[in-house]
Amino acid sequence: MNKPLRRIAIFCGLLILTLLIRDNWLQYVRADSLKNDTNNRRVTIARYATPRGDIIVDGDPITGSTETKNNDLKYKRTYKNGPMWAPVTGFASQAFGATQLESIDDGILTGDDDRLFFRKTLDMITGKQQQGGNVVTTLNAAAQKAAYNGLKAQGGKGAVVALEPSTGKILALASYPSYDPSSFAGNSDADAKAWKSLLKKNNPNDPMQNRALRETYPPGSTFKVVTAAAALENGLYKSADENTDSPLPYIMPGTTTPLKNEGNIPCKNATLRVALKVSCNSVFGKIGADLGNDKMLAEAKKFGFDAEQFTPVRSNASVFSDKMDRSQTALSSIGQFNTAATPLQMAMVASAVANDGKLMKPYMVDELESSGLDPVAKTEPEELSRPLTPKNAQILQSMMETVVKEGTGQKAQIGGGVTVGGKTGTAQHGVENSANPYAWFISYAKLADGSSPVAVATVIEDDQANREDISGGGLAAPIAKSVMEAVINSKK
């Protein structure tokens, strides 16, 4: 071969090699990024070419799919009782993407997940259209209905979370006001209009905010349960009925400012039981200052503070600050200053106490399954931490049960052999407490056999209510009671 032909052959060989490298780069290295590119219309068309699998509650689907008209995206998502379930499902929209379970488990729901390989292969051999799998939740339909209807009847804004203490299963996850994901599931002008109407900049009620997981509130006096746990765990006090070293008035360290109580309540040297029953700021503020920031922070972290939770939907981290002086620690120990918590977090606090000091990781997906109902993945309960010894947890249970029997939480009483433990909270809101406070209630129910099937956290924010009518025991406790009753009745 002469020299010019040899050069041409080498050049052509290099071109072929470059083409092969480029082809392999696109097909293997960049395959996932191209597949998930928002500008890849073919992927979007394929995603909506078949009905999605369903999200299941108590054996029944709370989602569905319907065929569209005059659209190259063949199927769109539908929802049953969409506003009630939106904090659980999130949304799947042809125009606006997906969130929460619809996004996290999108591969299962569309049938594209690698774990569905056998089912996809079988469908391909039989010529059957690809089908999505199902997401089976831990939710209890009756508890969710009680939570949502309670919030809706109350009005304003708020959230409820209910957990099964022994496993961490989420039984209810409600947020109000809410939205219907069906209203913008398609790709029409009407869907776009519905979407815009729900955005916070256009709707001050912010209905798409998941207040159960993504809103952090000052927990107010409900945080005193954490402070009481810290006192017991660190040996500051060893029982519920010994007198505390609590002067009245209590002047916060380094200041001339007294930490005031609400009304004329018996807080001077009160026992832990009495202090929790009547909600003494002075007693629990002094406990926090006496223990110090480090010990209080360590106990709060054992309950889950300062860490995001993944249920698998992400929940904001609740906050208990570091590097506070004793006065700031006192305020934080009664659920004020920088302390902030999600409703999920406070349900975790009640759950750990009810479960004899063992905190289980909260989760809302029980199982993933194929379209043929074959199990693909199963969530196993997982211990998260031990905030309390069993002995101290039982002491704290007796204190919380006194709150409901004799104190500020009496509207949560159930009876019929069911014992309820709880703690109310009315948390300051606004500059110098100028806005209406938040009303909190955390609780658990215990059956006659000693088991605890449910723990609940409820928060209400109502700007329109009369300020003097706002209390955790008055607004939040009745909702918690209805949720606990729903769970108990569903087990009969």
Instruction: From 140, 213, 82, 167, select the one nearest 485 (Cα to Cα).
Output: 140
pLDDT of residue 426: 86
Residue corresponding to tokens 């998930």: 36
Distances (CA, A) of 94 to 49, 67, 133, 215, 241: 11, 12, 19, 27, 60
Inform me whether the pLDDT recorded for 372 exceeds 90.
Answer: no
Alpha carbon 69 to its chain centroid, in Å, reads 37
The winner for highest mean pLDDT among 8-12, 376-380, 392-396 is 392-396
For residue 463, how many other CB atoms are within 10 A of its CB?
11
* Helix (H/G/I), strand (E/B), else coil: 425: strand
Inform me whether the pLDDT recorded for 173 exceeds 70.
Answer: yes
DSSP code, position 146: H
Domain map (residue ranges) of the chain: 215-364+385-490
* Band (35; pLDDT cuts 50, 70, 90): low
Spatial separation of the C-alpha atoms in residues 139 and 245, rounded to whole Å = 44
- Mean pLDDT along residues 347-368: 98
Q: Please tell me which residue in 65, 93, 182, 221 is annotated as part of the active site.
A: 221
| CB-CB contact of 454 with 471 (8 Å) | no
* Band (191; pLDDT cuts 50, 70, 90): very high
| CB-CB contact of 100 with 313 (8 Å) | yes
Strands (E), 177-242: none
Tokens of 154: 């109350």
- Mean pLDDT along residues 192-209: 96
- Mean pLDDT along residues 57-65: 97
Q: What are phi and psi of 116, to 5 degrees?
A: -100, 20
CATH T-level assignment (fold) for domain 215-364+385-490 = Beta-lactamase (3.40.710)
pLDDT of residue 219: 95
Tokens of 487: 């769970």
pLDDT of residue 470: 45
% of the chain at pLDDT higher than 70: 90
Task: Give the containing element (helix H, strand E) for 75.
Answer: strand 75-79
pLDDT of residue 48: 80
Spatial separation of the C-alpha atoms in residues 264 and 267, rounded to whole Å = 9
Between 170 and 114, residue with greater pLDDT: 170
* Band (256; pLDDT cuts 50, 70, 90): very high
Instruction: From 173, 116, 480, select the one nearest 311 (Cα to Cα).
Output: 173
- Mean pLDDT along residues 221-229: 97
The winner for highest mean pLDDT among 23-37, 177-191, 430-444, 455-469 is 177-191
- Is 221 annotated as catalytic? yes
